[in-house]
Amino acid sequence: MSAATVEGSTLLGLPVEMRSQIFDSIFESTTLYVEPGWRDEDYNYELSSPPQLTEKLNLVCRTFNNEIGDSWHKKVTYYFPNTVAFIDVMSQWPEERIRQIRHAHIVAYPLPIYHHNATFYTTHFMFEALKMFPGLQLDVLTVENIWLEPNGEPLDGWCIGATTIDVTCLLQSKGWKEFRYLSGVLPLTPSQVRNIDERITKMKAERNEPGFEYHITRHRPQLAGLQSVHPDGTVEYKDSQEDRDEVEHWYKTHPEEPPQDQSLPEDTEKEVMVWAKRGTADYVQDGENLHPAIKELLDHKPWLQHRRDGQMLVSDGMDDPAGHL
């Protein structure tokens, strides 16, 4: 359809710069959901199609088609339902497209992989997947916790530790300007929070990132609750006195929170519980320090070839995430 045919179009009559702003606004509010492909495909998660509105605008006239092009890729948010989906799709993209993606929401299911010995497998956390794609430079990375219920209750006894690993390692990862950790209320011990602070302080010094800032927006401090009973009947608590005093003080000064031994309501919703933003430091993913076992696999053959062979991956981690810890 020619421009003359749609000369009455209000949108076409606007200046190019204004049309560009409108298109950007549309795409920035668009989420593309990555879905499983057909069972007989070589890999399980397939490339996302362009937004339907993009295709419709491109059909209106050649002007829109030329102006929009592939620009939507930098504006939309890609929603990956698990870590495997993220790797599957990114592995199908050329390097240039990896460098252009700007917004990603990843549900951080674990990555259980068989290595050369098929009698056992190793569980990797989502942050390792970022290192597989040098050049990644997201404006916003949103990672969704799967170890905690929205009210902060862990799926099992290992899941608080898994959450701590998630938070600590993702904060230290590269490939993003802004990081958002969508989670249930964090039930971290004071020692765990101090450990995160210490690691980030060290990272800022080593990488010369004085402008790096992060906040834990909400958590309900807990004690590990571990104790040892000696033969003489005395009890030794593993939580330090400092931690116990800090937790007691916190609940006294936060009367709006339920007591420590009570859970939050079940209708509590996930929120951004950790937020971070980089200053002017280089944030582009460089692929350094990839786990040796994953590196060895990828040096042997590409990810998609492993997926076609069907012998590397235990599952996408969604069946029983805590069972893979």
Q: What is the DSSP letter of 277?
A: E
Residue type present at position 1: M
Tens digit of each residue's pLDDT, the chain (325 residues)? 444 444 555 766 667 677 767 776 777 778 888 887 654 454 566 666 665 656 556 545 566 666 555 667 788 899 999 999 999 999 999 999 999 999 999 999 999 998 866 678 899 999 999 999 999 999 999 999 999 999 889 888 889 999 999 999 999 999 999 999 999 999 988 989 999 999 999 999 999 999 999 999 988 888 876 544 546 555 555 778 888 888 888 888 888 888 888 888 877 889 999 999 998 889 999 999 999 999 999 998 999 998 888 888 888 888 888 888 8
Handedness of CA 72, 129, 324, 200 (dihedral sign): negative
How far apart CA 215 and CA 94 sit, in angstroms, is 35
Q: 101, 310 in Cβ contact below 8 A?
A: no
